[in-house]
Each structure stands twice: as structure tokens, then as C-alpha cells.
Amino acid sequence: MQLSGYSDIGHSNISEGIYLKTSANVLYKYRSLALQTGIQNDIISNNKTVFSGLNLNIAHYFSFKQKKYSVKTFFISTTLLNFVKERNYGAFLSTENKHFNFKIGTGFKSIGFTQHAIETAGINSNENVYEIFNPLYSFSYTLNKPTKPWNVGIGVTNMDNFVVNQATNPMTTVYGHYKLNESVRLTAEIWYKTAGAFNLHVNYFGLFFRPGIIWELK
Amino acid sequence: MKVIVPLLIGLIFSACNYADMGGMFVVNESVNERFEQSIEANNLNGDFGFGTYTDDYQIAVMGDIHIGGTENFNKAIEQIKVLNPIALVLNGDICNGNAEDYETLEQHLPEKADLMYFMLAGNHELYFGGWKEYYKRFGSSTYYFTVSTPTANDLFICLDTGSGTLGSKQLAWFKELLQQKRTDFRRCIVFTHNNLYRIRHTLSTNPTNEELLVLTELFAKYKVNMVVTGHDHFKNVIKLGNTTHITMNALHDGFMYAGYFQLNIKEGQLSYEFVNL
């Protein structure tokens, strides 16, 4: 069993100033399976919805030709201003070696309106927009082997715990962790987001810092 | 990796003719800087509104013309002269960003006295430092215009999404405009180059997911009737809430589905038509 928590402190083109979000997560492992769930809260934000995200993941770990893999399915639900609701679900395959971590998969997205929006904004259609088979990826490199008590790395991906971007909007992250003792690890990440990269005219979209803590329960 | 890297480069080039690869790393003007320049131009020129003697009118919209080539553009201009719309909107990727492309575009544009036209920048206008050329010749890429009929007023908003994001300043301007003016108008129609939702797999960029949700909320909250986009080159219609999202066919030479788009206001009702060349 693992408990973790982190905060996102940052700025973006849509944030109207600095924002602060927090997230709490629980992960339970049983043999080759892992079940993880998390929530996201907007503490300082122009999103009036405090409870803004929920995710649920189920992973299966296995070996193939002496390499370790996992298959993970996920569901993410987010709400903006109690007005727009977004659902993401999908699956990806992960593998890693001493320094590299690769994830590749596919996701489905629906965007629609909440009942509150339908009632207050006079929306007369509750149809959703669907995006299907969006490619998902994450490639990262870490400096040390996983056995070391600390590590730093760099990665590029189009998915985060509560955000799934289209493949053409990559996010770059620099991250690190330090193992305080057998149970507790401190983590820190910096995420840089751009817009328009594949339009060949890249523009700043956002930047945030994510300090966190992971607690292993025996 | 030996296969993947050239494949990726090839895919990027195939997605954007005459692509400015340097733009992936170095930005000449950020979207916030372009917005500020657009507002400067708006302040000089003032708000633009015009009236019609009847309640019925049409607006023609063309996008992804990608001049260099002008054959389809000339043909479309001749066709819409017969239709006699009150205005033409050139909805981004009008040319490929080179100075000579802008030169060609200016030579083939109709006289404003014959046909009032409005334009806004797409991602291709920004290539090769193209924004400077755009701004010098056409000015703003973020503005609004109004149409007054004997019985109602309609609001048309042009937004610059050439960088795949509105940027913080343009987004704030758009939000404020909707807050202050939307209730004064019968209909509100937004023109912008980038299609917002990805219904079809492409390598071209849409706005980030977080921005997409904010825009979706704004369109619903302020009852934006229609959002007209291009960028994807293939026509599409999505209805989300009370907003109809249009993606137009490209008009560039050699495109088998080349066409333009026509907005019709008739007896107070808004309708549309995709016109193939």
C-alpha cells in the first residue's frame, strides 16, 4: 500500500494568475496487480470547482523475455467551473530499464456539459464531443539506476494524472526524488507546457512546480 | 531510432507545406505580443460595424488558401461575387508566410469597396517571420465587427490561434468582450483558424486540453452560436451545447475537396452551406 500527495503551484495562459492544486492518491498492490485512485482539489484557481478531478487506474505487471512490463488502464474525470465535464479513459503499455522509461498507449476523450450547465445556461442538447484513439506517450530518462536513494530525470509526455493532451501538445518535465528512509520518499517535478509545437510555431502555455511525498505502508 | 527520426521529420514536413522548422524552437512574436499589436491597430482604426437594408444577409468564409497558388482563390472570389455577400472572412493560412506570398495575396484580393473583407492569421501566416508582413499589410488579427439589420445586431469576433493558443491576454480580452457586449447582440459568431476539437487524427496542433475546456465553457455561458475554423483542411460539423463548431474545407490549389463556407442569415435564422468549387 502506498499513499502519496503533491501540490501543483504554477501559471498558465488560462489561470489568470498563480494557481495551487493538490492531489491525494492511494495505491494498493496485490501480487501482479495494482489499483490506484486519486483526487485533485483546486485550492487557488479560477476554477470554482474545488473537487476538480478523480482518477482510477488498474495495472498488471508482467515479464516477457526477461524484461518487465506493465499494462495500465485508466479513467479520469475532471470538471471545470461545475460547467464542463471531461472524461478520459484508455490504456498504455510501460516498460523500463536502468535509465529509460517508455509508455505508449491510446486514449478516448469525451467533453460535455454538467447538469448544472444544462439548467443554468439554457443548453438544449446534452451531447458530448468524442475524440477516439488519441495516441498517448511518455519517454523519460533518469540519471541513476532505480536502486539509488536519489534520482533525477527528464521526460516528455502528453499525459499527466488529471490531464490528457492531444499527442501534438507535448509537456516536458524535469523530476527528481530523494529517499528519506525505507518508507518515505520526497519528490519534486517541474512541468513546462507549450502550445502549437506541431504547427511549427511553438508558444508558452504554462509552467508549474510539483513538490510531493510518497509514503510506503508495509 | 534510425527509422523513427526521419519518419517523424517526414511526417511533419508532409503536414505543413513549406514548413518553417525553426519556428518549433524560436518564436519571433509570441501570441501575447501579436495580440498587443492587434489591439494597437484596433485603437487606430476603431470598431468596425456596418448595416444592411434588409434582414437577410450572407457572409462568405474562406480558409487554408495557402497562396502561392491563386487558381482556386480567384475562382472562389468570382463565385461569391454572384452571391453578393456583405463580407468575406479569410480565416487563416491565407498564405504561407513568405513576403512574396503576401505580395501575391494583395494582388489578388478584391477591392474593399467591391467586397468588404476581414482576415485573421493562422499558423502559416507566422512562418518565416511572416507576422511582420501580415501586420504591415493588414493590421489586426484580433478584433470584432458588427452587422446591423433593420431588426437586429449581430456580433462577429475574430481570434488569433496561429500559435495553437489564444494566450493569456487575448483570452482575457475575449472573455471581457463577451461579458460586456454579448447581450447587446442577437447572434455571436467566432472566426478563428485552429479547429478546436480533434475529430480526425492529424499532425496539426489543436489548443491544449485545459484551454479547450475554458473555451467550451465560454462558448456555452455566453451563447456563442457558431465557431468557424479551418486548419484541419477537411470539413466537419460538431454541435456541442448550443454552439455549432464548423471546420471548413481548405481552398488551396490541388485539393480535391477545395471549397469555401457560406453563412446565411435569413428571416432571423442562422444557416450555413459548404460550397465546393
C-alpha of B160 from chain center: 8
**Closest by Cβ to A201, choosing from B23, B221, B239:** B23
Per CATH, which fold does B4-276 belong to?
A: Purple Acid Phosphatase; chain A, domain 2 (3.60.21)
Is the Cβ of B27 closer than 8 Å to some Cβ of chain A?
yes
The B residues from 204 to 223 touching A (CB cutoff 8 Å) are 204-214, 216-217, 220-221, 223
CA B38/CA B107 separation, integer angstroms = 23
Contact call for B210 and A206, based on CB within 8 A = yes
Among chain B residues, the shortest Cα distance to A170 is held by: B208
Q: What's the rounded Cα separation, in Å, for the pair B247 and B275?
A: 13
- C-alpha pair distances (Å), B117 with each of A17, B91, B195, B209, B260: 37, 11, 21, 32, 14
Which positions in chain A touch B203 (Cβ < 8 Å)?
Answer: 168, 198
> CB–CB of A198 and B172 under 8 A?
no
Task: Note the helical H segments in B119-208.
Answer: 130-138, 167-181
- The angle subtended at Cα A51 by Cα A154 and Cα A37, nearest 5°, is 55
User: Inter-axis angle of helices B99-108 and B130-138, to 10 degrees?
Assistant: 30
What mean pLDDT is predicted for residues A24-45? 95
The span from the CA of B191 to the CA of B159, in Å, is 6
Q: Phi and psi dihedrals of A154, rounded to 5? A: -140, 145
Look at residue A9 and tell me if it is in a domain.
no
Range of the domain at A162: 19-166
CB contact under 8 A, B240 and A16: no
Contact between A200 and B21 using a beta-carbon 8 Å cutoff: yes
Mean pLDDT of B239-264: 96
Decide if A184 is inside a domain. Answer: no
Query: Hey, are the CB atoms on B207 and A199 less than 8 Å from each other?
Result: no
Q: Using the beta-carbon criterion (under 8 Å), do B220 and A121 form an inter-chain contact?
A: yes
- DSSP output for A70-120: EEEEEEEEEEETTTEEEEEEEEEEEEE-SSEEEEEEEEEEEEEE-HHHHHH
**How close B179 gets to chain A, by Cα (Å)?**
14
* Residue A46 counted as domain residue: yes
Is residue B172 within 8 angstroms of chain A, CB to CB?
A: yes
The CA distance from A163 to B28, in Å, is 29
CA distances from A145 to A103, A208, A212, B275 (A): 18, 26, 21, 60
Cβ distance of B217 and A203 shorter than 8 Å: no
Domain annotation covers residue A73? yes
> What is the rounded CA–CA span in Å between residue B33 and residue B122?
15
How many structural domains comprise chain A? 1
pLDDT above 70 covers a percentage of chain B that reads: 90
Distance CA A115, CA A126 (A): 8
Q: Could you tell me where the DSSP H helices lie in chain A?
A: 115-120
Least Cα distance to B163 among A199, A169, A165 occurs for A199
Q: Name residues whose C-beta falls within 8 Å of residue A55's C-beta, 6 or more positions apart in sequence.
A: A36, A37, A38, A39, A40, A74, A75, A76, A77, A161, A162
Give CA angle at B79 (B76, B84), nearest 5°.
115
**Residue B102 is which amino acid?**
Y
Q: How many CA atoms lie within 13 A of A143 on its CB side?
A: 11
pLDDT exceeds cutoff 50 at A34: yes
Tens-digit pLDDT profile for residues A90-107: 999 999 988 999 999 999
pLDDT for A122 equals 86
Checking if the pLDDT of B13 tops 50, the result is no
How many residue pairs from chains A and B have C-beta atoms closer than 8 A?
154
Q: Is there a contact between B213 and A198 if contact means CB atoms under 8 Å apart?
A: no
Cell numbers for B267? 428571416
Is B16's CB within 8 Å of A121's CB? no
Name the B residues in 117-136 with CB < 8 Å from any A CB: 123, 126-127
Task: Tell me how close the Cα of A203 comes to any Cα of chain B, in angstroms.
Answer: 6
Nearest-angstrom CA–CA distance, A55 and A84: 17
Using 50, 70 and 90 to split pLDDT, how confident is the model at A199? confident
Best to test chain B binding among A8, A13, A18, A21 (most B CBs inside 10 Å)? A13
Q: Do B213 and A78 touch (CB under 8 A)?
A: yes
Phi and psi at B210, nearest 5°, equal -65, -40
pTM of model > 0.90 = yes
Question: What is the rounded end-to-end Cα distance, in angstroms, of chain A?
Answer: 7
Q: Does B1 touch chain A (CB under 8 A)?
A: no
Specify burial of residue B28 (Cβ count, 10 A radius: 0-12, 13-18, 19+).
middle
C-alpha cell at A30: 496485490
- Asked if residue A174 lies in contact with residue A142, where contact means CB atoms within 8 angstroms, the answer is no
Give this complex's ipTM: 0.93
pLDDT at position B1 is: 46
Q: Comparing A50-64, B16-30, B34-48, which segment has the lowest mean pLDDT?
A: B16-30
- Kindly state whether residue A216 falls inside one of the protein's structural domains: no
pLDDT digits (tens, 9 = 90+) for B97-155: 888 999 999 999 999 888 999 999 999 999 888 999 999 999 999 999 999 999 999 99
Which of A209, A136, A146, A216 has its CA nearest to residue A175?
A209
Judge whether A179 lies within some domain: no
